[in-house]
Structure 1
Amino acid sequence: MSNEIYKLFNQSFDSLEAFADTISEHLKCPVTIEDANHHLLAYSSHDDETDQARVSTIIGRRVPERVINRFWKDGVIPKLNHSDEPLVIPTIDEIGLRNRVAISIRKNEEVLGYIWVVDVNGTLTTEHLDLLKLAAQKARNQLLQLNLQNKKKERNEQEFLWQMITGDVVNHDSIEKELVRIGLKKGQPVAILVFSFKQMSKELYNQLTYISKTTQKMKILIHTLDENHWITLVAPKNSTTFIEETEQFIQSFCEQIKERFETRVEAVGCGYPKETFPIISESYNEANAVLRLKKLFPRELETVHFYHELGAFRYIDLLKRTPELQKLTSNPALEKLAAYDKDNQTNLMETLETVLDYEDRLTEAAKKLHCHINTLNYRLKRIKEITMIDIKDPVQKIGLYFDIKLFRKSV
């Protein structure tokens, strides 16, 4: 590579746009520069020799999610994230992508961003790729400075989120003004979603941040951590379709974190959208209530995300948190059945709970208990003899369901 090229990239640039134009001028190809979360930082001018993926990126100021998903599926982004070498990417017509060459901008193992070159005619040579490596090294310091600014901004936003969910800020207009600055549309509601993980690490937090910045299924305004809980403030597109929108987002999020990073979400709790911002703490409390009960009853509430989906467990939660009511919920019949199980090495309590869980679907209950339907009927007859419980009586049945859930968590 000539000394002129080295001198060219050793000069100071007024902006990343000027830097992108310089790369483009020497490669004779359109160039874009992105941050680590695929948000557009700069792009060179271009003629008709470009592609739809680049046009969409420039218009939306970030790479379309369908393009990111395809790059993960094809292994493009993992390769870029673990190498300092340029990567040649052949045409992918389904996402409007023509021949590309890309390189990551890195400091040690941390990816700061990417340089993308549209190589429409496949004219880039080895010397051009060496120039691209030099450009990535030159861009490192500029993106480091930008990264520091973004981290400071993120810390300030996280502090603001905690002020909201703890009720330290109570003026609607001042909260809305700050949220609009962050990216909320005026008049748009906000809600809290909380994702629970088995354990949290810096690497996992970075992965969560990456997904939050690249997803386009739901707008995540702010996110922060509370031990192993990832708390997000989201802006739904529409309050009336919030539940459907959120369910789609959760499914996509859980799939991405599993497929890309081999991490599993333990549980998700969702609060409802609030148009009055000083009461956003209510949304946080709703999400936390779901997580608290899912932890106590993981089997029964495995697929639950919203408070209204808890059903009878909403009242079980109330009973558990009210000592005066707990005194009224002791059930001698259950205590007698538990004592019989202990003395006779049986599992009649489990049988009773399973039958209540499956209501009148005895065949499914028998399958769950790994026994024949006749065996199940015999056990139910024995339970009635021991306890005088009549599970066909709807009043007894409803009360028994509450009692057995409370009893199981108190023994």
Structure 2
Amino acid sequence: MDDIGLGDRVAVSIWKNVEVLGFIWALEVDKTLQEEDLILLKRAAAATKNKLLQVQNRKNKKEERYQEFFWKLLTSHLPSNEEIISQFHTLQITPPSQYVVMVFQFSQEITREEEKQIAYLLKTSQQPKFLLYTIDHFQLVLFISLNQIDQPIKKLNDFCELFVSKMEERFGIESIVQGFSGIYSDYQKIEKAYQEALSVLSMKEKFPAEIKNIHSYQSLGIYQYFDVLLEKRLKDKYENYSLKKLHEYDQKCNSELVETLEEFLNKDSNVNDAAKALNIHTNTLNYRLKRIAEIGEINLKDVNQKLTLYLDLKLEKFL
């Protein structure tokens, strides 16, 4: 590449077992490299190996300290905010005024090579700022500072989608599911934040269609309380009378009233959107809604009734 002053050259790789630690590059400027020069470069590579291993060991020890600290935060093993702040300063990390915990769930266990790719993406990201991260088999867990970030929920949602698309586009890694916690300032709530992020992943697994595009725990809405509601329904052995009547009618007449009702509620009672999703005419949908109201004895203008039906449909589907 003479136009940029880069002439003939040789690269000697520096290895530890099967891992490349680095390279020595030598340019041919005033003379052509001879056999004795190549031997000298090989000796230099062998000598440099120990130096690179020392650098790598120091880096690994630093990473280990970060990892240990982060797991202590995620499992509430530090007794006070003062102790946590002291540890932040020891590791030369500025404690955030606000933070979230974000988790990415991979479909397969994260490999060493994928970990390098993840580290590169995190380092090159402008916002948000990642203070700590760890990889636990199938999961990437991030501790994110929200200092000086406007509209943090939007920025976090954007990053969730960007990370997933970049991992697929650049590295061919697909089927990553993402979620992040509420926003906190109390460091004693880091474990709570971690559990919230895991809750988002759990709900996405149970209801992949309904909350596919929801990444924030705050945005889960009623799904935050799903486990509590499910436990109560099981304990009380409750059965929604209206849904029971609609199911019986569907079985008897081979109709789709329950599916129609669910889609109507999914679309926030918007007739046009629901008809489009069901691939039927609005007149057909209006007729079905009339039958639903009659058979199930439902007032589809009553918000309380519609909310109860929506919840029971989701609980019924999961059960």
Give the alignment's TM-score, normalised by structure 1: 0.64
Q: Is 2:159 the counterpart of 1:249? A: yes
Helix, strand or coil for the counterpart of 2:174? Answer: coil
Which structure 2 segments of 5+ residues have no match?
A: none
User: Is contact 2:206-2:318 (8 Å) kept?
Assistant: yes
> Match for residue 258 of structure 2?
349
Q: Is 2:265 the counterpart of 1:387? A: no
> Displacement of 1:182 after TM fit?
3.2
- Residues in 2 aligned to 1:261 and 1:202: alpha-carbon distance in whole angstroms: 12
Aligned ranges 1:158-237 → 2 under 5 Å: 158-186=67-95, 188-203=97-112, 204-237=114-147
Which structure 1 segments of 5+ residues have no match?
A: 1-87, 92-97
Higher relative contact order (CA 8 A, sep 6+): 2
> Match for residue 232 of structure 2?
323
Aligned ranges 1:74-93 → 2 under 5 Å: none
> Displacement of 1:199 after TM fit?
1.6
> Match for residue 297 of structure 1?
207
Helix, strand or coil for the counterpart of 2:142? Answer: strand
Helix, strand or coil for the counterpart of 1:222? Answer: strand
User: Is contact 1:353-1:404 (8 Å) kept?
Assistant: yes
Counterpart selection for 1:274 from 171, 184, 207: 184
Taking only aligned residues, the RMSD between alpha carbons, in angstroms, comes to 3.7
In the alignment, residue 308 of structure 1 is paired with which amino acid?
A: Q
Alignment identity in percent? 33
Instruction: Say if 1:281 and 1:102 are closer, same or farther in 2 by CA, change over 3 A.
Output: farther
- Residues in 1 aligned to 2:170 and 2:136: alpha-carbon distance in whole angstroms: 23
- Residues in 1 aligned to 2:202 and 2:241: alpha-carbon distance in whole angstroms: 27
> Displacement of 1:353 after TM fit?
0.6
Instruction: Say if 1:187 and 1:302 are closer, same or farther in 2 by CA, change over 3 A.
Output: closer
Instruction: Say if 1:113 and 1:242 are closer, same or farther in 2 by CA, change over 3 A.
Output: farther
> Match for residue 306 of structure 1?
216
- Residues in 1 aligned to 2:305 and 2:25: alpha-carbon distance in whole angstroms: 68
> Match for residue 362 of structure 1?
271
> Displacement of 1:367 after TM fit?
2.0
> Displacement of 1:202 after TM fit?
1.8
Instruction: Say if 1:150 and 1:375 are closer, same or farther in 2 by CA, change over 3 A.
Output: same
> Match for residue 171 of structure 2?
261
> Displacement of 1:328 after TM fit?
7.4
**Alignment deviations for residues 64-117 of structure 1 (CA, whole Å, 9 cap, x no partner):** xxxxxxxxxxxxxxxxxxxxxxxx7997xxxxxx97999676556645356789
In the alignment, residue 302 of structure 1 is paired with which amino acid?
A: K
> Displacement of 1:265 after TM fit?
5.0
- Residues in 2 aligned to 1:132 and 1:356: alpha-carbon distance in whole angstroms: 75
- Residues in 2 aligned to 1:378 and 1:116: alpha-carbon distance in whole angstroms: 77
Q: Give the number of equivalent residue pairs.
A: 313
Give the alignment's TM-score, normalised by structure 2: 0.80
> Match for residue 339 of structure 1?
248
User: Is contact 1:183-1:221 (8 Å) kept?
Assistant: no
Instruction: Say if 1:186 and 1:359 are closer, same or farther in 2 by CA, change over 3 A.
Output: closer
User: Is contact 1:90-1:99 (8 Å) kept?
Assistant: yes
Residues 160-169 or 329-338, more deviating: 329-338
> Displacement of 1:314 after TM fit?
2.6
User: Is contact 1:195-1:267 (8 Å) kept?
Assistant: yes
> Displacement of 1:124 after TM fit?
9.2
